[in-house]
Amino acid sequence: MGFDDAMKAVGEFGYTQKIQQVILNSIQLFGAMHMLSLVFVGREPTTVMCGDELSVYDDVCHMKPPCDDYKYGDEFTSIATEWDLVCEKSHKVGLAQSIFMAGVLFGNVHFGSFSDHYGRLRMTLIGLALLSVLGTLSAMVWTFEQFLVFRFLVGYGAGGVILSVFVLQTENLSSHHRALSATCCPSTFALGVMLYALMAYFVRDWRNLLLLSSLPVGAYLLIYFVIPESPRWLISKGRISEAEDILHEIGRKNGMKVTRSMINLSETKTTPKTDKYGLLDCFKTPVLRMRMMILICSWFTASMVYYGLTMNAGNLGSNVYISFALSGLVELPAYLFGFLVLNRTGRRKAMAASMFVGGVSCLSLLLISKEDETRVKIRTALALIGKMGISSAFNIVYIYSSELLPTVLRNSGMGICSMAARIGGVVAPQIIPMGDRTTFLIFGGTALACAIFDLGLPETLNKPLPESIDDVERDAAITDKQEKYSSKGY
């Protein structure tokens, strides 16, 4: 009995899987809060005074001699008001975000490799512990330097959690239901963005806001008692009996009439132990190499354009809380689109179409000036359409990548792709100061290029996940033969 046959026997998406999906998806709420926490934790003060003299922010920054006694309004606190990160020191808030993203980058890579070696569940638990404990400690620091250290460590945990949870969610689902999971995951992230805006509206102190987004994460360590290890990973490690026990328990809880003896994975092909594989093995063969290069390009572009457009969310209105919430709200239609088309048109076409929409929207912004209010509204609409298109692409690339990579390298490959995404997030702020024309030309051009590249990837809809590198090469050879016969009219 193969793994996919075993999943059908125990219930492909029964009560057990649904409960697991709800629990694991809810973790994304806190992932969003930490990824975007500096929007409010590092918020620039709206009222700045030098001593007791109220002045316009720019005027205070240009005082001679420079002000040495900053005071702020009491509507909220942030690290900017705590450590006077204003005027010539305002860039340090951005530095904190860059250091956080560096932590996310390292977390993606390390957790990707470690979870291939030690298991998806174990590394998820370690990441959750790091996120909760270090996030809490970051709210108790007394110097900006201490804050930077903890921001890196929190980013490390956040990057590991987001990656490990996603792989744990998708590995135990059929192709059809993986599309549903891939839609719910980023949708929950978008809900986390909106929830964080609501929290920040009522909790105006940055320390309390960090505590509120960190302490509850510790409760998720209890998933150890309700979420099993990935049977796919156990099979890849040769631990067949443990995988059979987990599948039988899933079937029992799903109400399926299946006995332990009916779950026999002895004929399932056991992949070589993942201990033999490292990050460089993701580029070992020609087919894998080409897939990885296209995926890296797609992840980098999706992240760069996504964060680049999101950084302008505050310009949509004067209320930062509403603007931030709207930036999350517009993502939901994009994820709904992905859910509706992934199992109809396939992953490849949906991915290319989403990149195309994002690219065309960005390039269209080059044709419209800011001369009057009507044109400004059109530009805003195009920017939102671009955000939806690139959000859809960012959503699809997660599920598409996990289906293109073999089990023995899945987490390692996803870690590399996520690293490319983090680099894209770091690059975006450096492009924006170049001006609208250059910015949207780069965003639109790279998105359109990726749309073309994505068409060169194979379709994965309704196909079993590859378990080994040999599976990838063999499937590619079969696909090539089928395309040759098809082109000849056979």
DSSP codes joined into one string, 230-298: PHHHHHHTT-HHHHHHHHHHHHHHTT----GGG---TTSPPPPPGGG--GGGGGSSHHHHHHHHHHHHH
Q: How confident is the model at residue 487 (pLDDT cuts 50, 70, 90)?
A: very low
Q: How confident is the model at residue 274 (pLDDT cuts 50, 70, 90)?
A: very low
Tell me which of 351 and 317 has the higher pLDDT.
Answer: 351
- What is the pLDDT, as a whole number, of residue 441? 95
383, 309 Cβ separation under 8 angstroms: yes
The dihedral sign for the CA sequence 365, 370, 372, 376: positive
- In CATH terms, are 1-43+78-272 and 274-490 the same topology? yes
Tell me which of 42 and 214 has the higher pLDDT.
Answer: 214
406, 469 Cβ separation under 8 angstroms: yes
Q: How far apart are CA 10 and CA 24, in angstroms?
A: 20
- The beta strand positions in 285-436, using DSSP E, are none
Mean pLDDT of the chain: 84
Q: How far apart are CA 156 and CA 478, in angstroms?
A: 40
Query: What is the H or E stretch that residue 54 is in?
Result: strand 53-55
Task: Choose the most confident range, by mean pLDDT, from 64-73, 196-205, 284-293, 390-399.
Answer: 196-205
Domain 1-43+78-272 has CATH 1.20.1250.20: yes
User: Which one, of 202, 179, 238, 247, lies nearest residue 76 by Cα?
Assistant: 202
Q: How confident is the model at residue 9 (pLDDT cuts 50, 70, 90)?
A: confident
**Segment 447-472 mean pLDDT:** 88
Task: Choose the most confident range, by mean pLDDT, from 264-278, 300-314, 344-358.
Answer: 344-358
Sequence-distant (6+) residues with CB within 8 A of 228 are: 121, 246, 249, 250
368, 375 Cβ separation under 8 angstroms: yes
Q: How far apart are CA 327 and CA 319, in angstroms?
A: 12
- What is the pLDDT, as a whole number, of residue 107? 87
**Segment 323-342 mean pLDDT:** 85
**Segment 1-15 mean pLDDT:** 76
Q: How far apart are CA 271 and CA 261, in angstroms?
A: 23
Return the domain boundaries, the chain.
1-43+78-272, 274-490
Question: Where does residue 489 rank: exposed (0-12), middle (13-18), buried (19+ CB within 10 A)?
Answer: exposed
Query: What is the H or E stretch that residue 70 is in?
Result: strand 70-72
Q: Could you report the per-residue pLDDT of 98-149, keeping only the tens digit for each?
A: 888 888 888 877 887 788 888 889 999 999 999 999 999 999 999 999 999 9
**DSSP 8-state secondary structure symbol assigned to residue 45:** P
Cα dist. 416→115, 183, 235, 280, 330 in Å? 13, 22, 23, 10, 28
- What is the pLDDT, as a whole number, of residue 490? 46
Three-state DSSP state, 72: strand
- What is the pLDDT, as a whole number, of residue 335? 87
96, 148 Cβ separation under 8 angstroms: yes
Domain 274-490 has CATH 1.20.1250.20: yes
Residue 164 has pLDDT above 60, yes or no: yes
CB burial readout 426-447, b (16+ within 10 A) else e: bebeebbeeeeeebbbbbbebb
Q: Could you report the per-residue pLDDT of 363-375, keeping only the tens digit for each?
A: 998 988 777 778 8
Task: Choose the most confident range, by mean pLDDT, from 195-204, 237-246, 268-277.
Answer: 195-204
What values do phi and psi take at 14, rounded to 5? -90, -165
- What is the pLDDT, as a whole number, of residue 151? 94
**Least reliable range by pLDDT among 46-55, 189-198, 204-213, 468-477:** 46-55
- What is the pLDDT, as a whole number, of residue 309? 83
Sheet holding 70-72, edge to edge: 53-55, 48-50, 70-72
**Segment 200-216 mean pLDDT:** 95
- What is the pLDDT, as a whole number, of residue 199? 96
User: Which structure tokens are listed for 157?
Assistant: 């945990």
Q: What is the pTM of this model?
A: 0.79
